[in-house]
Amino acid sequence: MMGSPVTLTSSGSVEYGPDVPLPTQDYWVGHAIREVNSTYGDIVSVDAKKKSLIKFGKTLQANDGVRTTVGIFQDAVVNETFAAGNTVDSLVSTSGSDTGIVTVEGLTMDGSGNLTFVSQDVTATGQTRAALGTPLARPTRMYIKDGTFAVPAVANVGNIAVYDNAANSGLTAGKPDTDASVKMILVAGINQTQKCATSISSTDYWFISEVYASVTRGSPQSAKVNIEVEYKQVGGVWRPLGFEMNLDQASGPHMHDEMRPFFIIPKNSDVRMIAISDTASTIVSGYIGGVLAKVTG
């Protein structure tokens, strides 16, 4: 399926289709658009989406031989247990002082497994469960919502968790008792989640243009870490994107790679950065950056 070469929109901007000669726009963006059309049969537009996507995170517990998501979860959990439906429905804090507004982003899933992006504001109720207005299948980001000049927002005092209430056995001082029920945590005082993982909706593709990772301060001096990025389409299994970073705390603790051609993440996919250390309790940070392309035909 091929689209018209160039369209002038009502706002005066130029819309490029997959059959535009590549030098007319950024070469690698054009190449990715053509590849999506050739591989998946979708016409996509970066111009129509107009959105960058950068996911960043940190883990405090990359361990010997364990594939660990670069993100903050609860206690010993190192990889998210994905919900099979829209069952992630709750928010709670370990501090009774947390009663402000928290913005929760994520995706819902329909009966065919199609993901749809949702952003919602939730008023925290301290150590008492607060229900999400829209239950999610894939929570991806959470942050303290900005206030106003007269009433500014305040940092979270406790750890705020978004979790699956039905999969949790109870709360102890605002902490879910079932660790795996927690899908992401807003660490006290940080004000935004640190989760180098996300999901892509059924109407978007992600063109990944760069990846960065580092073994950070406080890690064992001898730690050596392998970094991978992998994706999984809904109903599929995890697949590596096909590159690996090898970090050494002593001699090469960080690395940045630019991707040309871009790595293409298909619609309806989960994505995560994985760290595999040879030393327990290694602290790893990283980010994945790129642009979203909207399905237009």
| Residue 220 binned pLDDT confidence (cut-offs 50, 70, 90) | confident
Same domain for 237 and 256: yes
Q: What is the pLDDT of residues 94-115, one digit of tens each?
A: 999 999 999 999 999 999 999 9
Does a structural domain hold residue 156?
yes
Same domain for 211 and 112: no
- The domain total for the chain is 2
This prediction's pTM: 0.89
Does a structural domain hold residue 24?
no
Q: What is the pLDDT of residue 225?
A: 95
Same domain for 287 and 219: yes
Same domain for 181 and 213: no
Q: What is the pLDDT averaged over residues 222-239?
A: 94
Same domain for 176 and 86: yes
Q: What is the pLDDT of residues 250-296, one digit of tens each?
A: 889 999 999 999 999 999 999 999 999 999 999 999 999 999 999 99
Where does a domain end: 142, 167, 193? 193
Q: What is the pLDDT of residues 125-163, one digit of tens each?
A: 999 999 999 999 999 999 999 999 999 999 999 999 999
Q: Residue 11: pLDDT above 70? A: no
Average pLDDT, the chain: 92
Dump the DSSP string for the chain: ----SEEE-TTS-EEE-TTS-GGGS-HHHHHHHHHHHHHH---EEHHHH--EEEEEEEEEEE-BT--EESB--STT--S----SSS-EEEEEESSTT--SEEEEEEEEE-TT--EEEEEEEEE-BTTB-EEEEEEESEEEEEEEPP--SSS-----SS-EEEE-GGG---EETTEES-GGGEEEEE-TTT-B--B-EEEE-TTEEEEEEEEEEEEPTTS-TT-EEEEEEEEEETTS--EE-S--EEEETTTB-EEEEEEEEEEEEPSSEEEEEEEEESSTTEEEEEEEEEEEEEE--
Same domain for 182 and 221: no
Residue 228 belongs to domain with CATH number: 2.60.120
Does a structural domain hold residue 38?
no
Tell me the residue range of the domain where 53 lies.
Answer: 48-59+198-295
